[in-house]
C-alpha cells in the first residue's frame, strides 16, 4: 500500500470511531521527513485511546505497523509514526494549541468527512 492509500485508509478508520475534523495533509513537496500527516480530534481521552487502538489493530491486518507510538500515557495527543504517514489524534484544546495545520499551512489539505455529514 502506498503512503497516500495508507493515509486515507487511516482517515477512514478515524471516521469509523467518530473522530472529528479529520484532515490529510500532503507534505510530499515540503519535507522529506514524511509524506502525509493524518490529523483528527477526539472529544475525550477515552475516545483518543479508542481511535488509536482501532488504528493499531486494523493496520496490523493489512501488515502496516506503526514504527513508534507516543502519548499513550496522558492521551492529550497520540502520535503514531508509520514512517511515510504520521497520525496525530488530539483532544480539541491540545490541537488548537499546537496548530499543526497552521505550522504546515503550505501543505495540500484534504478534509475527510462522513458521507452522511
Decide if 23 contacts 89 (C-beta within 8 A): no
Q: How far apart are CA 107 and CA 70, in angstroms?
A: 23
**Are 55 and 39 in contact, with CB atoms under 8 Å apart?**
no
Report the alpha-carbon distance of residue 3 to residue 83 in Å, rounded: 9
Identify whether 30 is part of a domain: yes
pLDDT at 115: 72
Residue 117 belongs to a domain: no
Domain of residue 18, CATH code: 3.30.460.10
Q: 19: which 3 cell numbers? A: 473522530
User: Do the domain assignments include residue 61?
Assistant: yes
Burial class of 80 by CB neighbour count within 10 A (0 to 12, 13 to 18, 19+): buried
pTM for this model (two decimals): 0.94
Asked if residues 52 and 69 have their Cβ atoms less than 8 Å apart, the reply is yes
Q: Does the residue 102 lie in any domain?
A: yes
Per-residue pLDDT 10s for the chain (117 aa) are: 899 999 999 999 999 999 999 999 999 999 999 999 999 999 999 999 999 999 999 999 999 999 999 999 999 999 999 999 999 999 999 999 999 999 999 999 999 998 754
Total domains in the chain come to: 1
Asked if residue 10 belongs to a domain, the reply is yes
Domain that holds residue 72: 3-112
- State the number of CA atoms in the 13 A half-sphere of 112 facing the CB: 22
Q: Is 101 inside a domain boundary?
A: yes
Query: Would 45 be classed as within a structural domain?
Result: yes
- For residue 116, the model assigns a pLDDT of 56
80 phi and psi, to 5 degrees? Answer: -120, 120
Whether 8 maps to a domain, the answer reads yes
Please classify residue 62 by burial: count the beta carbons closer than 10 Å to its beta carbon, then call 0-12 exposed, 13-18 middle and 19+ buried: exposed
Amino acid at each position: 500500500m502506498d503512503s497516500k492509500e495508507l493515509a486515507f485508509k487511516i482517515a477512514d478508520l478515524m471516521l469509523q470511531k467518530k473522530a472529528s475534523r479529520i484532515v490529510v495533509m500532503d507534505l510530499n513537496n515540503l519535507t522529506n521527513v514524511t509524506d502525509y500527516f493524518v490529523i483528527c480530534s477526539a472529544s475525550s481521552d477515552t475516545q483518543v485511546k479508542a481511535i488509536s487502538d482501532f488504528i493499531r489493530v486494523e493496520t496490523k491486518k493489512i501488515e502496516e505497523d506503526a514504527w513508534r507510538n507516543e502519548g499513550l500515557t496522558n492521551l492529550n495527543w497520540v502520535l503514531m509514526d508509520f514512517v511515510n504517514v504520521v497520525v496525530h489524534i488530539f483532544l480539541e484544546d491540545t490541537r488548537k494549541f499546537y496548530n499543526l495545520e497552521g505550522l504546515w499551512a503550505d501543505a495540500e489539505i484534504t478534509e475527510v468527512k462522513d458521507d452522511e455529514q
